[in-house]
Amino acid sequence: MSLSRRHLLALSAASLASWRALAQDAPLPDIGSIPAALKGSGEVRVVGYGGTMQTAQRKAYNDPFEQLTGIKVRDFAGADLNKVKAMVDTGNVEWDVVQLSRGSVKNLMKRGDYFEKIDYELVDVANIDPAYRFEYALDMLVWAEVLGYRTDAFKGAVPVGWKDFWDLKKFPGDRSLIGAGGSSNPELEFAVMAAGVSADKVYPIDVDKAFAALDKVKPSIVKWWDTGAVPVQMLTDKEVVMTSVWNGRMAALQAAGVPAAISWPEGLLKRDAWAVPKNAPNKANAMKYIAFTTMAAPMARLASLIPYGSVNAKSNALIAPAQLAKLPSAPGIKEKLVPYDYEWWAANRDAVLDRWNKWILA
C-alpha cells in the first residue's frame, strides 16, 4: 500500500487549513521583553521536520526571535540523526539546532561525542521540570501517540484503550500500527497493555509478552506505518478502522471533516527536543534560540497554532481554554497518558529491533 501524490497533497492542504483556522481562533500571546543575554547578531541555522510544524514554528518562534534578538533565523526541513552523525564525522557541520527525540540524541551519544552541552544558564529552568532537561538536549514540545478510529465504523461503540484495539470481535476491521522504520520504535507498550499490563507497570517492558500480543493482532495489521501522513490517509480512505497516530495529525483530520476521533487513555506521552550538533558554526546563537523558544510565551504561541503541548509550566495560563483542551499536556488529558520511557528504549532498542526484524518476516 503506498501513498499517492494526490493523497499527500490533499492531506497537507487540509492540515495547513486546520492550523490556519486554529491561528485565527486563538490570538497569539505577546512575548514582550526578553533577557539581554539572548540578544546578539549573526545567524542561527535551525532544522526541523518541515510541513505545518515548521510553518507554525516560524510564526511562534522564528519571527519574534529575529525581531527581539537581532539574530537571523535560517530554517530548513529534513531533521535526521544520520545526517548529524555524518556532518560531525566529516567535520562539515552545517546545522546549529536540530529537532530530534531525546532517545535519538541518547542513542547517538552512545556511539561518540556528537552534541554540545545545553547552556542552562540561559534557560528558564525555574519553570521547566527537570524531567524535560538533559545534558545534551532540551525537550521543547509534548505530543502523544494515541489510538485514532473512525466514528462511523462500530455502530456507536467507542474503543477505549488497547484492549479494545486488540478486540477483533467487538471492533472488527483492518488496523495499522507503527513499525520499526527509520528512527521509529515498534509500539510494544500498546501490546503489553492490550495483554493486561496496567499503565503504571508498562516499564520495564516485558518483551516476550509484547510479541505474544502482537502475534494475535498481526493478521489484521494491513500496514506498519513509518511516516505521520500514512495513518491519517488510511483513516480518511477507510482502509483501516483503527490505527495508532500522532495527536496533531488527528486534529487536522477532524478539522477536515473526516468522521474520526482520538481515544486518549493509554496513549504514549512523548517529547521532541532541541539539540546542538558538535562544533555547530553558530553555537552561541543556537543556545540563545533554544532558551528563547522554551520560554513560556513562545511555547504558548506554538501550542496556540498546532495542538502540541508545552514544557514550560507557565505556558498553559497563556493558551486559550478551547485550544488548551486539545493538548496532550492539558489537565485531564495528560493524566490518561503513559510517559514514554526514553531511558528504557536507549538501553534496549538494538535488541528489540533485532527481534522485530526477525518477527516481521516470520
**Segments making up each domain of the chain, as ranges:** 9-142+271-336, 144-270+348-360
pLDDT tops 90 at residue 237 = yes
Cell of 83: 545526517
Between 21 and 48, the higher pLDDT residue: 48
Comparing 96-110, 145-159, 163-177, the range with the smallest average pLDDT is 96-110
Residue 22: pLDDT band (50, 70, 90) is very low
Task: Provide the mean pLDDT of the chain.
Answer: 91
Burial of 27 (0-12, 13-18, 19+ CB in 10 A): exposed
Mean pLDDT, range 34-46, rounded to an integer: 98
Segments in the chain forming alpha helices (H): 5-25, 51-57, 63-69, 81-90, 102-109, 162-166, 188-194, 207-217, 229-236, 247-255, 283-293, 296-305, 321-324, 342-360
Mean pLDDT, range 40-67, rounded to an integer: 93
Task: Supply the pLDDT for residue 2.
Answer: 37
Rounded to whole angstroms, what are the CA distances from 65 to 77, 207, 217, 293? Answer: 19, 45, 47, 8
pLDDT tens sequence across 120-144:
999 999 999 999 999 999 999 999 9
Counting residues of the chain whose pLDDT is more than 90, the rounded percentage is 78
pLDDT tops 70 at residue 64 = yes
pLDDT tens sequence across 70-79:
999 999 999 9
CATH number (3.40.1350.10, 3.40.190.10, 1.10.8.60, 3.40.50.300) of 144-270+348-360 reads 3.40.190.10
Give the architecture-level CATH label for domain 9-142+271-336.
3-Layer(aba) Sandwich (3.40)
Task: Supply the pLDDT for residue 16.
Answer: 46
Cell of 327: 493538548
DSSP 278: T
Mean pLDDT, range 203-230, rounded to an integer: 95
pLDDT tens sequence across 163-210:
999 999 999 999 999 998 767 899 999 999 999 999 999 999 999 999
pLDDT tops 90 at residue 42 = yes
Tell me whether domains 9-142+271-336 and 144-270+348-360 share a fold: yes
pLDDT tops 60 at residue 13 = no
State the CB neighbour count (10 A cutoff) for residue 1.
12
CA distance 281 to 74: 13
Mean pLDDT, range 269-288, rounded to an integer: 97
- Give the amino acid at 61: Y
pLDDT tops 50 at residue 11 = no
